[in-house]
Amino acid sequence: MQFRILLALFAVAAVAAASGACASTGATPHPFPMPGAAPSAPASGGRASSAPTSPKPDAYAITGTALSLRGTPYRNGGTDPSGFDCSGFTQYVFGQHGVTLPRAVVDQFKAGKGVRADELVPGDLIFFTTTAPGASHVAIAIGGDEFIHAPSSAGVVRVERLSGSYWPQRFIGARRMN
């Protein structure tokens, strides 16, 4: 297990060496296949349609993929590495690992299970109210009080702190995709 963690951290560092508020537009994204991976099966067993359609995601892999995209420009309606809006970013990152997320922030806020702010773990989705009442911005927890997101039309995918001056009063909840 420890070797797997070290290997994942090394992969994140290698990708990072080689290579940052939205309300989503509802654009329809392209599928996000993983090379050599089998397609994920649809959810069953009475689960809500907004729930992810795959087994528990690997938090280290999810955060590694998210961190490898630092510096990608914000693009309203963006769903790929040429540019992301906030929910396009989270949908793309999870999609790279076979986890299907809804496209819109408000629908992502209904997926998975709710977690308290003091229970956040890497890979959890964090939601804020920014441009409208309710969930209007989403990010991915990466550990400690840090998260990664596609913040605004003037920004890039980047890491920020929940304890910063802007985010604490806008935090409205978090969801775990397992």
Six token digits for residue 32: 């996000």
**Residues forming beta bridges with residue 174, ordered by sequence position:** 115, 126
Question: Any catalytic annotation for residue 86?
Answer: yes
Catalytic: 149? yes
Residue 97 falls in the annotated catalytic set: no
Cα separation, 84 vs 69, whole angstroms: 10
Q: Which phi and psi angles does 61 have, rounded to 5°?
A: -70, -45
The active-site residue, picked from 22, 30, 97, 149, is: 149
Active-site residues, by number, are 86, 137, 149
